[in-house]
C-alpha cells in the first residue's frame, strides 16, 4: 500500500439484512446493499467530496470509516493500520484521529450541557488537560471558530443553526485530528450562513493541515470545497476524479445527468430539461442486474443489463465504471 | 387587471415575548399565467406572506392587515364560507414537505376525489375519471394503480406530483408553491420544475414560487421579489435582478452562492446575522449588515424606488443614482 494515502478503503461493503414478516407470518429476507465494494484513497491534506442522491450510501460509507457500523466485507486502512478489527484502546485511538461533524447541528449537541462541557468532553476522554489548561484550550477553540469566550457558558438552544455548526466544528478539531468527516455540514443552513461555514472550514484546513471527507448532495458546494470528487449511485462508486476535470468533462452518464440537474443562478444559462433523468432511484433491495444505473441510463448498450462494469482508469487520476468507456465505445 | 394584487400587507404575531413583525408592508402583483419567485433566507417572511394570501394564519395570535385583491375582490374582507370556495379552487397551495402534505390513512384516489367533489358537481364515477386524468397530467405512470395506493408506498417525487395534481384539479388560476422542491434530490427537483413549467404553458396558471434557492428561481421565474426582514427589498425581471442587483442584500446573497466557484475563499459573505423579528432595527432593516450604509439608513425606512419598468429597489443609493426615482420615504414607526 502506498505511503501517501492517509486512509484507504478496499472493496468495502455493508449489507443490511431486512428480516421482515408479512401479515401472514411468512418470513422474507432481503438484503440491502447499502455500500457495495467501494474502494478509494484519501491522501493527507486533501479534500475529497462524496456526492450522490439520497439513498446512494454516502452516509453509510462515512459511518463505516469511523466504525459506527461494522463492515460486511472489505478492509479499511488508516495510517497503515487495518481498522475493521480494532477494539478497545486501539479503536479509541482511531476515533481520536478521525472526527466527524454531523448534518443537523442542533441535534448533534446535547441540549442539557453548556458549550464548555460539550467541548471539554473529547479533551477529558482523550487527553490529560484539566483545570486551567483545559479552560485555556476551550477558549482557544471557541475563538478559532469565530465565537467568543462568553459563549462557553451558554447552552445549544441559545444559538442559531450556523453558530451550532461552529460549535460542532470546534468539538471536531479539539483533539487535532488528521481527518474530519463532514456529513452534509451546510445542508440545513441558509446560503449566507453556508458561505461563512465553508470559509471557516477552508481556513481551518490551512491552519491545522486537516484532511476532509466531505459528504454532500450539493454539487456546487462540492466543487468549491473539494480537490477530488467521488460520485456514488446505489452503493457503488460510478466515477471519481479531480473536481475540475469531473465538472468539465464528466464521463459517466449518471455524472453528466446529475451535473445538468443543478439549476444555475446565471441568467440565460438555462437548465437543459431535455436530458433529464427519468424516474426515481430504484429500490436498493431489488437491484437491477448488470450496471445499477442502466434502467435510467439514456446511453445504455445491451451489455449494461447483463454484466457489472469494471473499473476503467484514465491517466491514473480518474476512474469510471461504465461499459461505454471500458469496451472502447467511447475513447 | 392583475390576477392578484397585494397592497401594504402586514402580518404580526402576538407572542409572550412581544410583537413579532413578520411581514412589514409588502406590495406586489401577479399577472395571469406568470411565475413570480419570492426569494429570501429563513426568517425573511416569505412563507408568512404566502400563508396570509389565503388567510391560513390563525388569528389570533396572528393578525393580517392590508389588502389582498384576487380578481378585484379583497380576500381579507371575505367571510370564511366565501373564502373556502376560493381556497383549493381558484387559488391553491402546495407545501414544502410532500411527505406530510398527504393524509397517510386515505388512498391517493380518495384524497384527489375529495377535493374535486368539494368544488365541482360530479358523480363519483366522473370524479374518479377526473382523478385519473389528473394523475396523467402530472406525468405519473399507471394512474389506475396509483389511485389505490397509500402515500407511504410512493416516493417523494411522486407524492409532490400528486400534490401538484390535487392543487390544479379544479382549474386553479393561481398556485402558491412554498418551497416545492426543497425536500427533493436535484434530479427529482429538475423533474418537478419542468412539470411546473409545462403546466403553466398548458393550463395558463400563475405561480407564486417561494424558494431560498436562487438557482431554482433563475430557472423558472419571470419576475422575482427578494425579501429581507419582512419587506421586499428588490423586484424585477429575473435576469435583470440576477445580472445587475441593485440592493446591497441581493448583491450579498448572490456573492454567497457557491456556483462555479473553484475555491471557498472566493465566496463573499454578509457580515452579521438576520435581524430578530421581535426587535427589528430602525430604518432599513438591512442597515446593520450593509457595507454601503449612510446616516439616514439608520433612521428612515426606504420605500421601493423605481429603477425601470417593473424594476424596483428599496435602497437610498438607488434613489440618489436612479434617473426616474420616486422621492418618497416612509418614516419608520
Sign of the C-alpha dihedral computed for residues A253, B185, B273 and B40 taken in this order: positive
Q: What is the pLDDT along chain A (331 residues), one digit of tens a residue?
A: 444 788 999 889 999 887 766 666 677 778 888 898 899 999 988 999 999 888 888 888 988 988 888 889 999 988 888 888 888 888 888 888 999 998 888 888 999 999 999 999 999 988 888 889 999 999 999 999 988 888 899 999 888 888 899 999 999 999 999 999 999 888 888 888 888 899 899 999 999 999 999 998 888 888 888 999 999 998 899 999 999 888 888 888 888 888 888 888 876 666 666 556 666 677 777 788 888 888 888 888 888 888 888 888 888 788 988 888 876 666 5
Looking at residue B325, its pLDDT comes to 36
B332 pLDDT exceeds 70?
no
Interchain pair B218, A266: CB under 8 A: yes
Residue A267 φ/ψ, nearest 5 degrees: -60, 140
Q: How far apart are CA A43 and CA A181, in angstroms?
A: 14
Write the residue in B155, B238, B264 that is nearest to A267 by C-beta: B238
Query: How confident is the model at residue A128, as a pLDDT?
Result: 87
Q: Are A92 and A133 in contact (CB under 8 A)?
A: no
Return phi, psi of residue B90, to 5°: -85, -40
Q: Report how far residue B230's alpha carbon sits from residue B281's, in angstroms, rounded to the nearest whole number.
A: 12
- Global pTM value: 0.84
Contact yes or no for A263/B213 (Cβ under 8 A): yes
Nearest CA in chain A to B238: A267
The complex's ipTM? 0.80
Residue contact B215–A202, C-beta within 8 A: no
The pLDDT confidence band at residue B330, using thresholds 50, 70 and 90, is very low
Interface residues of chain A, partner chain B, Cβ below 8 Å:
53-54, 160, 162, 190-192, 194-196, 198-199, 201-202, 217-221, 223-225, 243-244, 257-258, 260-268, 270-271, 273, 276-278, 280-281
- Return the H-helix or E-strand segment holding B108: helix B108-119
Q: Are B247 and B262 in contact (CB under 8 A)?
A: no
pLDDT confidence tier of residue B333, bands split at 50, 70 and 90: very low
- Nearest chain A residue (CA) to B276: A160
Geometric angle at alpha carbon A169, from A211 and B250, rounded to 5° = 100
DSSP for B175-214? EEEESTTTTS-HHHHHHHHHHHHHHHHHH--EEEEEES-H
Closest CA to B170 of B133, B139, B140, B125: B133
- Residue B121 predicted with pLDDT over 50: yes
Q: Three cell numbers at B143? A: 394512474
Amino acid at each position: 500500500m502506498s505511503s501517501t494515502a492517509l486512509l484507504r478503503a478496499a472493496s468495502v461493503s455493508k449489507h443490511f439484512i431486512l428480516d421482515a414478516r408479512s401479515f401472514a407470518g411468512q418470513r422474507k429476507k432481503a438484503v440491502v446493499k447499502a455500500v457495495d465494494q467501494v474502494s478509494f484513497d484519501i491522501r493527507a491534506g486533501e479534500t475529497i467530496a462524496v456526492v450522490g442522491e439520497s439513498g446512494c450510501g454516502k452516509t453509510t460509507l462515512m459511518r463505516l470509516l469511523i466504525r459506527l457500523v461494522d463492515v460486511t466485507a472489505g478492509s479499511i486502512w488508516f495510517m497503515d493500520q487495518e481498522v475493521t478489527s480494532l477494539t478497545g484502546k486501539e479503536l479509541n485511538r482511531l476515533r481520536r484521529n478521525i472526527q466527524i461533524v454531523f448534518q443537523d447541528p442542533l441535534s448533534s449537541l446535547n441540549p442539557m450541557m453548556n458549550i464548555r462541557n460539550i467541548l471539554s468532553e473529547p479533551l477529558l476522554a482523550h487527553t490529560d488537560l484539566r483545570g486551567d489548561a483545559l479552560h485555556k484550550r476551550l477558549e482557544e477553540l471557541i475563538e478559532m471558530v469565530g465565537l467568543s469566550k462568553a459563549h462557553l457558558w451558554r447552552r445549544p438552544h441559545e444559538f442559531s443553526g450556523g453558530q451550532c455548526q461552529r460549535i460542532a466544528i470546534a468539538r471536531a478539531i479539539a483533539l487535532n485530528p488528521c481527518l474530519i468527516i463532514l456529513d452534509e455540514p451546510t445542508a440545513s443552513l441558509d446560503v449566507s450562513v453556508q458561505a461563512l461555514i465553508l470559509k471557516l472550514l477552508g481556513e481551518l484546513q490551512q491552519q491545522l493541515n486537516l484532511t476532509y471527507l466531505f459528504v454532500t448532495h450539493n454539487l456546487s458546494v462540492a466543487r468549491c470545497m473539494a480537490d477530488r470528487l467521488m460520485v456514488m449511485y446505489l452503493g457503488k462508486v460510478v466515477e471519481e476524479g479531480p473536481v475540475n476535470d469531473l465538472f468539465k468533462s464528466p464521463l459517466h452518464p449518471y455524472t453528466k445527468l446529475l451535473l445538468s440537474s443543478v439549476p444555475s443562478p446565471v441568467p440565460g444559462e438555462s437548465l437543459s430539461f431535455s436530458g433529464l433523468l427519468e424516474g426515481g432511484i430504484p429500490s436498493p433491495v431489488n437491484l437491477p442486474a448488470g450496471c445499477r444505473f442502466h434502467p435510467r441510463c439514456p446511453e445504455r448498450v445491451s451489455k449494461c443489463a447483463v454484466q457489472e462494469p469494471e473499473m476503467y482508469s484514465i491517466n491514473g487520476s480518474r476512474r469510471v465504471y461504465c461499459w461505454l468507456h471500458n469496451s472502447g465505445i467511447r475513447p | 387587471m392583475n390576477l392578484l394584487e397585494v397592497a401594504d400587507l402586514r402580518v404580526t404575531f402576538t407572542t409572550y415575548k412581544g410583537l413579532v413583525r413578520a411581514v412589514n408592508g409588502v406590495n406586489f402583483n401577479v399577472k395571469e399565467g406568470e411565475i413570480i419567485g419570492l426569494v429570501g433566507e429563513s426568517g425573511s417572511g416569505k412563507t408568512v406572506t404566502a400563508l396570509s394570501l389565503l388567510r391560513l394564519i390563525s388569528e389570533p395570535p396572528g393578525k393580517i392587515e392590508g389588502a389582498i385583491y384576487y380578481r378585484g375582490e379583497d380576500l381579507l374582507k371575505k367571510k370564511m364560507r366565501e373564502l373556502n370556495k376560493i381556497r383549493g379552487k381558484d387559488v391553491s397551495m402546495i407545501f414544502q414537505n410532500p411527505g406530510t402534505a398527504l393524509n397517510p390513512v386515505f388512498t391517493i384516489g380518495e384524497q384527489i376525489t375529495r377535493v374535486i367533489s368539494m368544488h365541482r358537481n360530479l358523480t363519483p364515477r366522473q370524479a374518479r375519471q377526473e382523478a385519473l386524468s389528473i394523475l396523467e397530467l402530472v406525468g405519473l405512470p399507471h394512474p389506475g394503480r396509483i389511485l389505490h395506493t397509500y402515500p407511504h408506498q410512493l416516493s417523494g417525487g411522486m407524492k409532490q406530483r400528486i400534490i401538484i395534481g390535487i392543487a390544479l384539479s379544479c382549474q386553479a388560476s393561481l398556485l402558491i408553491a412554498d418551497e416545492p422542491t426543497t425536500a427533493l434530490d436535484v434530479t427529482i427537483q429538475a423533474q418537478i420544475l419542468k412539470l411546473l413549467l409545462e403546466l403553466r404553458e398548458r393550463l395558463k396558471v400563475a405561480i407564486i414560487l417561494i424558494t431560498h434557492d436562487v438557482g431554482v428561481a433563475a430557472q423558472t421565474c419571470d419576475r422575482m421579489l427578494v425579501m429581507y426582514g419582512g419587506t421586499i427589498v428588490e423586484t424585477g425581471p429575473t435576469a435583470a435582478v440576477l445580472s445587475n442587483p441593485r440592493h446591497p442584500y441581493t448583491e450579498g446573497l448572490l456573492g454567497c452562492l457557491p456556483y462555479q466557484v473553484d475555491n471557498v475563499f472566493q465566496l463573499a459573505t454578509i457580515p452579521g446575522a438576520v435581524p430578530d423579528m421581535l426587535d427589528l432595527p430602525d430604518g432599513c432593516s438591512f442597515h446593520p449588515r450593509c457595507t454601503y450604509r449612510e446616516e439616514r439608513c439608520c433612521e428612515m425606512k426606504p420605500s421601493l424606488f423605481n429603477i425601470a419598468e417593473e424594476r424596483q429597489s428599496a435602497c437610498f443609493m438607488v434613489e440618489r443614482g436612479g434617473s426616474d426615482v420616486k422621492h418618497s420615504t416612509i418614516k419608520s414607526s
